[in-house]
Chains A and B, each alone.
Chain A
Amino acid sequence: MEFNADHFSLFELPATFRLDAALLDRRYLEMQSRVHPDRFASAGEAERRLSLQWATRVNEAYQTLRKPLPRARYLLQLAAHELGSENNALMPHDFLVEQMEWREAVGEARVAREHHELEHLHHRLQRDMLERYDEIAILLDDQHDLEQAADRVRRLMFLEKLLSEIDDAIAVSEE
């Protein structure tokens, strides 16, 4: 196993967007139980440092692959495909209009502390995002259309941000 191998090779997984999450988890835990600093707590300097580097590397790889957005971005990066900046001007007009409507709905519910409405928005958005991730899977794994995949990833970056804003608003409404 190479320290500088890509994240998929590190876990001996195919470099695809569709991923056996349970298998990734298992490989991750197997690796960590070998390299984690707790295995080297009373070891010498050199081994402790190696262990720290390996455990850090394994954590980074796992965190990247575990969630769909960073995984998709990483696949594009591996394919050396420029994602483009998070620039509003790059996004189609109807997507931006839709975004504004979402934000208004979240803003109103937040100000009014409508907890249930926020929960509802959270679930609606999550369903929407799941469909979009299915689309990315087809674009990346089946059609190998990096251009379109990058476009969908850019949209999802907006949506993930929106989702975390909804979650923050839910947190505030509970206080």
Chain B
Amino acid sequence: MALLQIAEPGEATAPHQHRLAVGIDLGTTNSLVATVRSGLAVVLSDALGRPLLPSVVRYLPDGHSEVGYEAQAKQALDPRNTVVSVKRFMGRGLHDIEHHEGMPYLFDDAPGMLRLHTVAGLKSPVEVSAEILRTLRLRAEASLGGALLGAVITVPAYFDDAQRQATKDAARVAGLPVLRLLNEPTAAAIAYGLDNAAEGVYAVYDLGGGTFDISILKLARGIFEVLATGGDSALGGDDFDHRIFCWMLEAAELKPLSVEDSRMLLTRAREAKEYLTFHGVAPINARLNSGELVDLTLTTEIFAGITQTLVAKTMQPVKKALRDAGLSVSEVKGVVMVGGATRMPQVQRAVGDFFRQDPLNNLDPDKVVAIGAAKQANLLAGNGAAGDDWLLLDVIPLSLGLETMGGLVEKIIPRNATIPTARAQEFTTFRDGQTALAVHVVQGERELVSDCRSLARFELRGIPPLVAGAARIRVTFQVDADGLLAVTAREQASGVEASIVVKPSYGLSDDEIAGMLKDSLLHVKDDALQRALKESQVDAERLVEAVRAALASDGDLLGAEELARVDRDIASLQAAARGDNRRQIMLAMDDLEADTKDFAARRMDKSIRRAFAGRNINELDSETAVAHTGEPA
């Protein structure tokens, strides 16, 4: 009920306490957590003052795990149980992973999403990511001194439904409420745009450890609009390391290496890459297990030469995104650089040449996403200061489609449609007496089902037996503000409407997540029950506060009787929240929710009417605003 955000400017809102909300950049190589403190976005460091948390998780025989630098340090010693770049595995099957033969892990090709055999048992990428998120959550709680209201977690704009769902599941396993999944480039623009009060069209070029994203954004009057996105979910800084690694094997004429040696040389490759950002020549020295010495010199020229195709590979999605947005290079006002890999001089140069301008890089490319996420979290939590408000209109990165006869795809929601969005499709039977219908939802741009990602398969059963073509089944595809799909189906021909909600097949079942939660709690000093109670109390407090604020501004929308009932609900909820019975708190919250449902609808109507009431003033203000025009698509 946090309707206080929509209070009119100048209208006093009840003072409320600052809610603890964080932004998390769950990166391929490193992860960060940031928050807004006294109006300033800051990255929270660990006890040793280190802002980055390497996205590395090492599993131990006793079931415990190490996360971050500690795990990274043991990477070469225990590669099989030390999971790096787990983000590449999120929501992915084994066949989706390039070069997986060369990785030191024991994969299990589970349906939907792969699993990893570790010394602590079989682990899903969701669980590995949850370890990282939990570490960041504990860091934030220690630093901020309380339970978190929630987090904004960033994902590459190009992430499909399976990858987004996996990220959300990981947060759930880590005991972290998700306020919103936010696209990384958008987060970067929030970090840059508001600080620099920029208006116009911006490109965000994000080359991270394992993913490349390009986004075209329009910033105008506090509204961030994503015009187009594109990218490559299997291209990043790691590939540059890999090129150096391959060059080393060739230049030093090395025989096939052990897992430990490969890992060590990859680390040397990464160090050389980073060294070349500030130097013209990088020496590479290493001693292999066999005693053999590797002694090489990598120059900027060689490095640029062996990675030229990688840099060029990033430019194709850039051109495509510009075309999707209907824009030319000259219309782009600025280019924001994100991700540690954009520090490489050849990347800076290529981007500058393409856009014919120097890219923006005055914020730390490693921190910019977390900072933007923290600002968004602060806004969503309702902590935004007056006048410091913006709205994000995001798009779906990949088209959603249905399988039709002959294995072809019929698109139902096109790529780059602004979310939330929905589309209803009518189906009918093609045989007399047919009582079931199979529906297959896919995501991707290709024409053949086999070239797209399968999202969900389900069967509608219990269709009344009618002549072919007489049944009417209406299937609704709803994509929410996180870019996640929900499917509902209604059978209408019989007059009886049946509705089903379909969980996508790649996702984890609730039972699986519950199991992971239990497993993870066994090994963490984190009292689950105490924590759950505390969370419910915070939720209750939030709900009461929101209803009260709503009553203060719109109490006149309620009749005396309704008002009395709501007051009674508030009193019982507050009483329940003082006790330690979690179930009672939740029941009291349900009551209050139920009795304010109509009130919510009336407030929404009033708010929408108000949107137009003040428009004459707005229109005078914005005579010069440039926006989309009705040009032919």
Q: Which residues of A contact B (CB under 8 A)?
A: 1, 12, 19, 21-27, 29-47, 50-52, 54-56, 59-60, 62-63, 66-69, 71, 126, 129-130, 133, 160, 163-164, 167, 170-171, 174-175
Contacts and interface: CB of A to CB of B under 8 A. Distances in A.
A117 B320 CA distance: 18
Q: Which of A42, A47, A56 has the most CB of B within 10 A?
A: A42
B518 interface: no
A38 B380 contact: yes
A36 B632 contact: no
B632 A41 contact: no
A24 B615 CA distance: 12
A63 B323 CA distance: 18
B204 to A, nearest CB: 19
Ranked nearest first, the 3 interchain pairs of A and B with the lowest CB-CB distance are A25-B627, A41-B380, A37-B481
Contact of A33 (B3, B391, B626): B391
Interface of B: 1-3, 5-6, 19, 149-150, 179-180, 221, 223, 316, 319-320, 323, 379-382, 391-393, 417-422, 478, 480-481, 542-543, 546, 593, 596-597, 600-601, 604-605, 607-612, 615, 618-619, 622, 625-633
B628 A1 contact: no
B180 A21 contact: no
B611 A34 contact: yes
Contacts of A38: 180, 379-380, 391-392, 481
A167 B625 CA distance: 29
Contacts of B609: 1
26 contacts: A1-B608, A12-B612, A22-B627, A24-B630, A26-B622, A31-B608, A32-B391, A33-B391, A33-B611, A35-B604, A39-B6, A40-B2, A41-B380, A42-B19, A43-B2, A46-B593, A47-B604, A52-B480, A52-B481, A55-B420, A56-B422, A59-B421, A60-B422, A67-B633, A160-B633, A171-B319
Contacts of B627: 21-22, 25-26
A57 B371 CA distance: 32
Nearest to A31: B611
Contacts of B323: 167, 170-171
A1 B615 CA distance: 15
Question: DSSP majority for the A interface?
Answer: helix
Contacts of A21: 627-630
Nearest to A156: B632
A56 B420 contact: yes
Contact of B630 (A40, A47, A71): A71
B457 to A, nearest CB: 24
A38 B179 CA distance: 9
Contacts of B629: 21-22
A44 B417 contact: no
A42 B382 contact: yes
B1 to A, nearest CB: 5
Given A26-B618, A63-B417, A67-B633, A42 B391 contact: no
Q: Which of A59, A63, A129 has the most CB of B within 10 A?
A: A59
A168 to B, nearest CB: 10
